[in-house]
């Protein structure tokens, strides 16, 4: 395993993020990790945040905490997982604030695993301004893999920290909403909410 002291996601005042991942502090399936989590309400549903001592490792959105807890445990079957609201209260407030103000200047420590291809795709997702979208094929072109639209979709779906790495901003070639782990209704809500806050059209 590689230390992830240099792992972060850093948002500028346009809401565009710089993503750096040097390696996670845990092995496959969360081996060796102790993950604390908290579930908090926000404007578009419930979010569950999981974090190691090194940073955020998981974020999901749904209407049911029990479902989110089961998804967290499914993704990290080899980790010790405990609820710890007190330890994560301040961190969760920062994440919720990011939803309310999608154009902050904010640094968050993260602790996630990524292949080089996934990292390339996730960096392109982070470069999409709030309230706007890009197609999977456009993302593929931007990472100089023009024939890899399907692989881009798979990398998009493997994103473990929804909203923070904004996979909801990736759409089909015709602009249709496709392929969101947490359901297309949440993808629609996120995009419409961002467009409302940033003054971009919802058409």
Instruction: Kindly report the CATH number assigned to the domain that includes residue 164.
Output: 1.10.10.10
User: Which of helix, strand or coil describes residue 60?
Assistant: strand
Is residue 99 located within the same domain as residue 178?
no
Q: Does 77 share its domain with 135?
A: no
Residue that is last in its domain, among 60, 78, 109: 109
Positions annotated as catalytic residues are: 167
Residue 61 phi, psi (nearest 5): -135, 135
Q: Both 123 and 91 in a single domain?
A: no
pLDDT of the residue at 38: 98
- SS3 (DSSP) at 136: helix
- Is position 175 within any domain? yes
- State the average pLDDT over residues 6-26: 94
Shared-domain flag, residues 173 and 129: yes
Q: Is the pLDDT of residue 186 over 90?
A: yes
Tell me: pLDDT of 90 over 60: yes
- On whether residue 2 sits in a domain, the answer given is no
Does residue 148 belong to any structural domain of this protein? yes
Q: Does residue 24 share a domain with residue 51?
A: yes
In a domain, 66, yes or no: yes
- Residue 3: pLDDT band by 50, 70, 90 thresholds? very low
User: Considering its fold, how many domains does the chain have in total?
Assistant: 2
| Residue 3 forms part of a structural domain | no
**pLDDT value, residue 5:** 60
Mean pLDDT over the full length of the chain: 93
Question: Domain holding 42: CATH number?
Answer: 3.30.160.70
Question: Of 89, 109, 129, which residue constitutes the final position of a domain?
Answer: 109
The token pair that represents 30 in the structure block: 């969360």
> Model-level pTM?
0.93
**From CA 193, how far away is CA 202, in angstroms rounded?**
9
Give the range of the structural domain holding residue 31, as residue numbers without chain letter: 8-109
| Nearest residue to 189 via CA among 69, 58, 20, 62 | 62
One domain for residues 17 and 104: yes
Residue 105 and residue 139 in one domain: no
Co-location of 12 and 90 in the same domain:
yes
The answer to the question of residue 30 being in a domain is: yes
Q: Say if CB 94 and CB 56 are below 8 A apart.
A: no
Check whether residue 159 and residue 183 sit in a common domain. Answer: yes
- Residue 26 in any domain: the answer is yes
Q: What's residue 201's pLDDT? A: 61
């Amino acid at each position: 395993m590689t230390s992830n002291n240099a792992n972060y996601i850093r948002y500028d005042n346009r809401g565009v993020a710089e993503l750096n991942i040097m390696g996670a502090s845990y092995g496959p399936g969360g081996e060796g990790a102790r993950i604390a989590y908290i579930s908090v309400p926000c404007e578009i549903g419930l979010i569950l945040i999981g974090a190691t001592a090194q940073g955020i490792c998981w974020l999901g959105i749904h209407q049911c905490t029990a479902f989110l807890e089961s998804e967290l445990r499914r993704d990290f079957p080899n980790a010790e997982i405990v609820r710890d609201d007190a330890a994560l209260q301040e961190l969760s407030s920062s994440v919720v604030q990011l939803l309310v103000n999608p154009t902050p200047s904010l640094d968050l420590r993260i602790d996630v695993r990524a292949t080089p291809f996934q990292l390339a795709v996730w960096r392109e997702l982070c470069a999409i301004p709030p309230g706007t979208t890009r197609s999977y094929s456009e993302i593929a072109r931007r990472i100089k893999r023009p024939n890899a639209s399907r692989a881009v979709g798979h990398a998009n779906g493997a994103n473990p920290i929804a909203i923070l790495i904004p996979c909801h901003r990736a759409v089909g070639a015709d602009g249709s909403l496709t392929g969101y782990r947490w359901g297309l209704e949440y993808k629609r809500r996120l995009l419409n909410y961002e467009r409302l806050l940033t003054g971009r059209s919802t058409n």
